[in-house]
Structures are given as C-alpha cells and as structure tokens.
A and B are shown apart, each in its own frame.
Chain A
C-alpha cells in the first residue's frame, strides 16, 4: 500500500511543477509586456513602469523569476490581485466553500438518482425503463448545461411560469449571514439566528445543483448499469442465485459490492467535470464561487488571480484524483498487487 501511494506521489510532483510552469508562462506569453497588460488602457508613465517591473520582479532573468515564483507558491503566496489588492489565496479561499458546497450537493444529487436508476436498468435489462433511462442519460450527457440552466430558470423562476425558485446568488438579500465555515447550509443552520435563512439557502441551491449534477448523473447511471450488467453475468452471482438466495440479497450484496468498485472511480473522476461545470453553472446563477471568480478575473484582466486560481484548481484536482486512486486500491485490493 505504501509503495502504491509513494509511486503515485512520485508522479504527482513533476505534474504539479509542470502546472506551475504553465501558470508562470501564462502571464509572460501574453502579448505585450505584463505591466502594460495589468495597467490596461490607462497606461503608465515610464518611471512608474520601471518601478512596477522591479516591484513584481519582471526585470530579473526568467529562471530567477521562476525560482522566486515557485518559492512563493510553496510558502502559500500566490501574489496579489491586481484589481482588489487582496492576496489571491485569500480571495480563492473565501470563495472556495461556495463551490465545494454546490459541487457536493450536485454529486450527492447525481449519485442518489443515477446509482439506483442504473441498478434498476441493469436488473430489468431490455425493459421500457432500461431503454428510457439510457435515452435520458444520453440526452443528459449531451446537454449544454449553460442552456439547461437558462431553461430551468424560465420554467421555475420566471414569475410568468412557476416562480418557485430564486434566479441568482446563494442567499436572499433579506438575510445577512456571517460566514463562519463558508458553507451556507451549515452557517445558517448552526450559527445564524435569522429565521428562514436556512430555507432560503436551500431554495437558492436547488436549480444550480440540478444543472451541475445533470452530466455526472447521466454518467453515473450509464456506468452503474454497465458495471452491474458485467457483474450479474459472473459465475459467483449465478452460484448465489442457485443456492436459493433471495434476488434482492444477490443484487444488493453480491453484485452491487463488486459493481461499486467501478462506480466509485467514476464518481471520483467527476470532480474535474464538476469544477469545469462550475464555471458555467456559477456564471448563470451568479453563484459567488471560484468558477465565476475565475471567469470574472479573465474578463477584468486580473491575471495574477487567473494564475493563482489555475494552480489551486489543478492542485485540488490532482489531490482528489490521488484520493480516488487510494480509495480504489482500498476497495479493490487486486490493483495493489498487479503493479
């Protein structure tokens, strides 16, 4: 097990250094010199220009700049946002819980629906349910989620139609919730005195959760179905049946446990998909998370924020993938010994 983890970590470090190289190169390959880019259309005087070049260290040789940059990252310093003058890491961390909350809700939603649907489809293979589920999941997989979000807003939020759910944000403007954990559901439930704030938080979560969870749900349903079908054809399942065990027990205990090996990996691999999807979902629902923050940063030419965000997101994806690998090894011991 330890060897397995070390070999995975060994692959991770060069990849992470590669990501920092890309992020480092990002500001330097932009057309024009970085100070002029950051100053935007206002421009700067030559003296101020030289001053800023020295301040950001752009006047040093490339390799020295990179060494300083890497050293700063390792100390948790991702630079300052050029617009807000706040440390990029702080900006990232204040928004990160919003994205995690949304992503967790989305993956729970996707699993709660996708997993049982996939199991039923596999058990009732060839039935009308199976066919329609496969159709729906293919449609979900093909869904442009930015359009799906707009459609749901028309249907559920527009006052002419149902008018059930709010259109944007995490919380109604009536309430002020002091961020304690940054997770709105937890903050409103345990730390806030305000009546109805928790309900409002849930209300705001519903549509973004559905939109972000749609593609993972489709993927999970499909993969669960095919993993179950594969396992249901195995000899030991037939043996269990032949022994006269009840069908529910055979499916739930014998088949599902082995099918879950595939499914856990699939769910884990959705993290990258969720973070990419969060960019679109958060933009549609004005959800104050890192996806919206990064799109805004790109538009405001806040390149230090983009650079820092890129490193953080890549780092998080890599760590999650490592954890998934680890879990996979844990629930499927075979993989540890084949290497």
Chain B
C-alpha cells in the first residue's frame, strides 16, 4: 500500500459519514447569514425558557398591588426592579414574558411531535397501500383544508373547551393535512424506485419498508415543513389566546397577555408592545432558520 493510499484511508476514517453530513449541512446552512442569526436567537429563547425560574426577577403571577401599570424603567415613573414595567394588576412584565416563552415553545414542540408522527404515519400508509384507504384519507384531509385553519381551530376549541392543551390539539388537527399530503407524495415517488424494490425482494416487511427504507429519503421536505409549522403553531396558539380560546388567565402566555392588555392600548403602551414583540421575534427567528434549513437540506427547493 502506497503512502498516498494510506493517507486517503486515514482521512476518510477520521471523518465518519454522519460527521461528514453534518459538516456539509453546516456549510450550506451557514451560507445564509439570516439563518445563523435566527438559530442563535432561537437557542437564546430556548435557554431563557429552560432557565425561566432562575433568571426571572419575580414570580410571573405575583401581584404587587402598590405598583400597578408602572412604565418601563427608562421612562419617567419607572422602577428598576420592574425593568419592563408592570401590568394592570401589578405583575412584572419581564418575568411574565420570560415564562411566556415556555408556553410558546411547548406549544410548538407538542404540535410538531403530534402532527409529524400521526401525519407521516398516515401519509406513508396512504402512499404505500394506495386503494380505498388512500382515497378516503385524502378526502378527509381535503375536508380539513377546506375550512380556514384558524376557524377550524376555533370550532374545535369550542367543542373541546378553551385551554392551551385543547388549543394544541385543535392546531395539530388543522396542520395534519400538510404532512399527510407531503409524505404520501414522497412515498408514492419513492415506492417505484429500485432500492425499494430491492429491499422488498430481499424480504423486508411492510413496516420496515415504510419507516426504515422509504422514510429517511423523504425527510428533507418534512423537516422544512416542521419548522414552518413550529412558527405557525406559536402564532395560532397566541391568536387563540388573544381571542380568549387558548391559555386562560393568569397564565403568562403571550397571546393571552395581549388580550388582557387590549383595554390599555392608549394608556400603557408597554403592556401591549412587549408580548407582541416577543411573539414576532420568536416566530421570525424560527422562520429565518427554516429558510436556511430549506437551502441546506433540499437544494431542489432552494429559492434562487
């Protein structure tokens, strides 16, 4: 074995395929500066949510009756122990915002987990088994899509009763069709490929074919869709909270905080501005990240 060959072998051994993939992913992802900014801001929010109890200066539902509607610290009449001011019953805005991040991220995670598992299973099975099962399933998805998602979610919450958990269930149902359609289409396309036939001939079972052979090859669009629905789920949950159908007061959920703050829009700008800003920045960060993911994972979907 010549020296050169040994060297080549050495270097390929050092970098495992997984690390190679990750490296390649990061290369494309980091080309998009916005995506990197989005990623870091998102990690920051995750950190805030994890450390909420440690870093928030007050308890989120503690009411300081002598400090009602105190403006932010830098304004006249502000108080440095309430940096972003207090709301109408004297609760610290900053602490409520910090704790609010938990509810938003929690909502996003649960909605994705539910829709991804159920939607992908249904979609793959539809694309794999075809026939009447596929027809019925896709018609049901069409029905869900025919109703605007927020209206569908509102009606579902009306049936289930208001609350954050029910809002998450309702949102998951309205997002399901996207995953079912996406994974069905991929499964149909992949099913005709040779490698699938090969593993079928080799005796792979149906479940193995669906989840181990086909699924990894349809992951890219699903991951991108998942990021998009993460941010939409946060928006929709906040919208339901705003309409009084999501998380119920005194939960420091951002949308619910906005609903409580509505009557003070002319007198106390900070109770309205900050929760909305928190929603906007979080959603923006995730969408930026989603753009980068799309570029890195699926060059076909890349917008020129």
Contact = CB atoms under 8 A, between A and B. Distances in A.
Nearest to B135: A14
A5 interface: no
B150 interface: yes
B155 A18 contact: no
B159 interface: yes
B273 interface: yes
Contacts of A279: 148, 150-151, 154, 243
How many chain A residues sit at the interface, stated as a range, is: 35 or more
Interface in A141-162: 141-144, 146-148, 150-151, 153-154, 158-160
A47 B283 CA distance: 54
B interface majority secondary structure: helix
A230 B34 CA distance: 22
Interface stretch (A67-75, A82-90, A184-192, A268-276): A268-276
A295 B155 CA distance: 9
A275 B148 contact: yes
Contact of A280 (B159, B243, B279, B304): B243
A63 interface: no
A299 B244 contact: yes
Interface stretch (B119-127, B183-191, B261-269): B261-269
B147 interface: yes
Contacts, number: 130
Nearest to A321: B146
A26 B280 contact: no
B14 to A, nearest CB: 38
A142 B283 contact: yes
A144 B240 CA distance: 11
Given A153-B265, A229-B304, A15 B147 contact: no
Interface stretch (B91-99, B206-214, B216-224, B231-239): B231-239
Nearest to A18: B143
B273 A144 contact: no
Contacts of A251: none
B142 A18 contact: yes
A299 B155 CA distance: 11
Contacts of A314: 146-147
A279 B255 CA distance: 15
Contacts of B235: 142, 144
A226 interface: yes
Contacts of A299: 244
Interface of B: 34, 139-140, 142-143, 146-151, 154-155, 158-159, 161, 231, 235, 238-239, 242-245, 255, 258, 262, 265-266, 269, 272-273, 275-277, 279-280, 283-284, 287-288, 291, 303-304
11 contacts: A16-B146, A142-B284, A144-B238, A144-B239, A144-B255, A151-B272, A226-B303, A233-B304, A276-B148, A276-B151, A280-B239
